[in-house]
Amino acid sequence: PSTPDPSDFLAVDAGLDDDERSIRDTVREFAEERLAPHVAQWYSDGGLPVRDLAAEFGKLGVFGMHLAGYGCAGTSATAYGIACRELEAVDSGLRSFVSVQGSLAMKAIHRWGSEEHRQQWLPAMAAGEAIGCFGLTESDAGSDPGSMRTRARRDGSDWVLDGTKMWITNGTAADVAVVWAQTDEGIRGFVVPTDTPGFSAPEIHRKLSLRASVTSELVLEGVRLPEDAAFPDVRGLRGPLTCLSEARFGILAGVVGAARNCYETALRYTLDRHQFDKPLAGFQLTQRKLADLVVEVNRAGLVALQISRLKDAGTLHHHQVSFGKMANVRAALEVARTARTMLGGSGITLEYPVMRHMANLETVLTYEGTEEMHALSIGQAVTGLPAFR
Ligand code: FAD
């Protein structure tokens, strides 16, 4: 047997099939050539060239790639996870763009929309010609979305929506917003074209994390929609939670990329840099850290692959998604923090990706269910006792 590959120590990718490997190579090449050279600038500017990127992601075929029909590629969940990993190896904000478009906005329309919603939006969204966002969180309803105040009331055959959503990825750039609101029949989802009068989406500035991503408020003031703007069949939190489970899958696979990139950066850096007349990588304390990083990156990769296979087999339970999200984001943050120390002063700059990943991962720890919520989900699964409230 040959010596393990430092970039894939446990040969996790040997568990991929040929199609999945070819998607990995295509997305990795795109990420390295088209995204990586610009990401530090986008991060420091606090913004993205959203339209250009949407068109390119559309051409690459990553928007809604694991959905079937309507211009979507229909790949395995495993392939989608690998694409997320390769994008997040550049930046969590870029993976968030793709996750929100594909796993939240498109998935909601694909799963819960009427045939007209699907025909109207999905092909354009898959092609990157239309951008979507997903409005669930409010300033007073984060971990507890059931307490949302945004309301949709009937007025004749129309719906009228009032309320404010907070922390909405892609909001300012979106052509269509999937908005969840209280109604007399429970929480329902609405497909809201963002040019509807009364809708606005001011951008949230001064973020110290996920800066290469658009984050917005959604303000709905008397937004009047036709009756068929509502998702026809789903009521209650089941609607948004189905989509969140999809997006969390993208995260647990994606963060493996951020962790790998931090580890590889630390490995290269410590091999190159000399102190006390030898490479930093030659000191025992550095090798201890490198070994810890290798273990965390590969363990997270295995968790992601196992959960991907469960998803493809149709047996993945949302408690297992919670396991993956909690375990892998935690691992990635640990890797980023340790890698940061290994770069010394250089580690705090945008010249290297490590501190950027570390700051991003603080958002990733919080969004799509905080670490605490996923711990409670695992706790419920093993005890049968819900401790959420
Ligand atoms: P809170 O719910 O107030 O939580 C604060 C702290 O209290 C956390 O540590 C939490 O774990 C803890 N806590 C809460 N309840 C309990 C409990 N019962 N037991 C123990 N601890 C508890 N939302 C969307 O709808 N769409 C998006 O596109 C989107 N994008 C986002 C992008 C960014 C950059 C960020 C930062 C957030 C985004 N979110 C989005 C919102 C995100 O999902 C929420 O921030 C998250 O759900 C947490 O809600 P919160 O911020 O209100 O925190």
What are the pLDDT digits (tens) for 313-350? 999 999 999 999 999 999 999 999 999 999 999 999 99
DSSP 202: P
Q: How far is the CA of 106 from the centre of ligand 1 (A)?
A: 22
Q: How far is the CA of 297 from the centre of ligand 1 (A)?
A: 26
* Closest ligand 1 atom to 213 CA: 34
| Separation CA 81–CA 367 (nearest Å) | 18
HSE-up of residue 175 (Cα within 13 Å, Cβ side): 14
DSSP 229: G
- Tens of pLDDT, residues 19-66: 999 999 999 999 999 999 999 999 999 989 999 999 999 999 999 999
> Quick one: 157 exposed, middle or buried, by C-beta within 10 A (0-12, 13-18, 19+)?
exposed
* 136 Cβ inside 6 Å of ligand 1: yes
| Separation CA 151–CA 200 (nearest Å) | 16
* 143 Cβ inside 6 Å of ligand 1: yes
Average pLDDT, whole number, for the chain?
97
* Closest ligand 1 atom to 373 CA: 11
Q: How far is the CA of 366 from the centre of ligand 1 (A)?
A: 6
pLDDT of residue 264: 98
* Closest ligand 1 atom to 143 CA: 2
Q: How far is the CA of 87 from the centre of ligand 1 (A)?
A: 23
Q: Examine the pLDDT at 1 and tell me if it is beyond 90.
A: no
* 169 Cβ inside 6 Å of ligand 1: yes
* 367 Cβ inside 6 Å of ligand 1: yes
Here the tokens at position 297 are 């990156």
- 351 in active site: no
Banded model confidence at residue 197, pLDDT cuts 50, 70, 90: very high
Residue listed under structure tokens 């819900």: 386
Given the residues 20, 203, 368, 372, the one annotated as active site: 368
CA distances from 336 to 302, 341, 376 (A): 18, 9, 25
* 303 Cβ inside 6 Å of ligand 1: no
Q: How far is the CA of 367 from the centre of ligand 1 (A)?
A: 6
Residue 337 neighbours by CB distance under 10 Å = 16
Comparing CA positions, the residue from 268, 289, 292, 264 lying closest to residue 279 is 268
Q: How far is the CA of 187 from the centre of ligand 1 (A)?
A: 19
State which of 167, 217, 241 you would mutate to test the pocket of ligand 1, scoring each by most atoms of that ligand within 8 A of its C-beta.
167
Q: How far is the CA of 278 from the centre of ligand 1 (A)?
A: 46
Q: Examine the pLDDT at 388 and tell me if it is beyond 90.
A: yes
| Separation CA 318–CA 240 (nearest Å) | 13
Residues 188, 179 contacting (CB under 8 angstroms): no
Residues 90, 31 contacting (CB under 8 angstroms): yes
* 244 Cβ inside 6 Å of ligand 1: no
Q: Examine the pLDDT at 244 and tell me if it is beyond 90.
A: yes
Q: How far apart are the first and last CA of the chain?
A: 53
* 370 Cβ inside 6 Å of ligand 1: yes
* Closest ligand 1 atom to 370 CA: 11
* 215 Cβ inside 6 Å of ligand 1: yes
| Separation CA 18–CA 7 (nearest Å) | 19
Residue % of the chain over a pLDDT of 90: 99
DSSP 218: E
* Closest ligand 1 atom to 369 CA: 47
pLDDT of residue 173: 97
- Tens of pLDDT, residues 41-51: 999 999 899 99
HSE-up of residue 252 (Cα within 13 Å, Cβ side): 33
Please give the angle made by the CA atoms of 43, 210 and 164, to the nearest 5 degrees. Answer: 125
* 103 Cβ inside 6 Å of ligand 1: no
| Separation CA 170–CA 60 (nearest Å) | 19
Banded model confidence at residue 287, pLDDT cuts 50, 70, 90: very high
* 142 Cβ inside 6 Å of ligand 1: yes
* pTM, 2 dp: 0.97
